[in-house]
Amino acid sequence: MAANRTETNHTETDAAPLRVGLIGYGVAGAVFHAPLIANTPGLHLEAVVTSNPERRDQAAARYPEARILADAAELWPLGLDLVVVASPNRTHVPLATAALDAGVPVVVDKPLAATAAEGRALAELAEARGLLLSVFQNRRWDGDFRTVSELVRSGRLGTVHHFESRFERWRPNLKGGWRELGDPAEAGGVLYDLGSHLVDQALTLFGPAVRVYAELDIRRRGAQADDDSFVALTHADGTRSHLWMSAVAADLGPRFRVLGSEASYVGYGLDGQEDALRAGRTPADEGWGETPPERYGRLGTVDDSVAHPTLPGAYQEYYARLAEALHGRAPAPVAARDAINALTVLEAARLSAAEGRTVAL
């Protein structure tokens, strides 16, 4: 199996790069995964799978050393060290299952699955096969979230009692695509698209949630999936997280508002790494992930606050840590169980909104 072959190679030498196959070359594959993989020392983008002729041409032009394939089944005989699933949500579980059955470690773009039960079955399969399964939660390496994490863990805010987090956009017209489909199997809508990040960040900071309340709304004409939603979490430690996700916010609230017993932190605007990747920049470029001083958040109290420097964003850390994990030197950068915990919260949010009640976990 590929996992055994890879383990042997790693024991002999770390000089040979790990060979990576990427399934999907839409936004997730082309903007995030391919450039991050290609710019991570020790990884080689061996193959890209896409059935779209235009995307095949784009991938071939940008990554001339990669094989461009039309079907994921063409990956399994290649003896790869890793497969990355960056295709539409409904294909995550079957493609990840096929990779694990072929003996290949897997990274799955968020969300891992449409349900926690499916995610749990996938994690159990990976464990039974002795293979790595990780979920791409790149927003853990947003500069502003790294800053919030440092402030929370250092105690500079005191005891945090209220955490607000927003991914809000102004997209009043439908764009089409699977993200706007209403079939639960598609895991569409802003709850699963943007909320996957917000819930993961909240659980990473404050631990498990014990109660979930949610409001999921469809605002745009013709939309099938939620496009304006709110989730409230009560964590086991008593912290409350209020999470907003919207495609119809004509005015944007703060990205983070964190209130503690000693101080607060408030920051506006999204991390700039996604825009940089869309513009063709990579982590190898000078100044990657840096936030200009005029966009720093503010730390302090209503009577005395100061601009607080934002830590650099570092999406490259995900794949750097993943390479270490594949060599057996570190744990996966995002564990499958973390994704399952987040999916449990997202399912509870759907139930809460449908029944108009708080759901206990």
> Read out DSSP for 226-283?
--EEEEEEEETTS-EEEEEEESB-SS---SEEEEESS-EEEE-S--SHHHHHHTT--T
Write out the two tokens for 17. Answer: 């790069």
Fold: same for 2-136 and 139-315+344-360 = no
Q: Dihedrals φ, ψ of 241, to 5°?
A: -110, 125
- What is the pLDDT at residue 3? 40
Q: Which residue has the tokens 């709850």?
A: 191
Query: Can you give the pTM of this predicted structure?
Result: 0.93
Rounded to 10 degrees, what is the CA torsion of 170, 173, 178, 180? Answer: 80
Per domain, the residue ranges of the chain are 2-136, 139-315+344-360
Write out the two tokens for 61. Answer: 């032009």
Say if residue 277's pLDDT is above 90: yes
pLDDT tens column, 18-27: 999 999 999 9
CATH second-level architecture of 139-315+344-360?
2-Layer Sandwich (3.30)
Rounded distance between C-alpha atoms, residue 217 and residue 230, angstroms = 9
247 to each of 46, 122, 142, 195, how far by Cα in Å? Answer: 36, 31, 20, 12
pLDDT tens column, 91-123: 999 999 999 999 999 999 999 999 999 999 999
Q: Would you tell me which CATH number, out of the four given (3.30.390.30, 3.40.1440.60, 3.50.50.60, 3.40.50.720), belongs to the domain 2-136?
A: 3.40.50.720
Mean pLDDT of 274-287: 96
pLDDT tens column, 131-151: 999 999 999 999 999 999 999
pLDDT class for 264, splitting at 50, 70, 90? very high
Q: Are the beta carbons of 226 and 218 closer than 8 angstroms?
A: yes
Residue in 204, 206, 198 with CA at minimum distance from that of residue 238: 206
Question: Which H helix or E strand runs over 87?
Answer: none
- What is the pLDDT at residue 185? 85
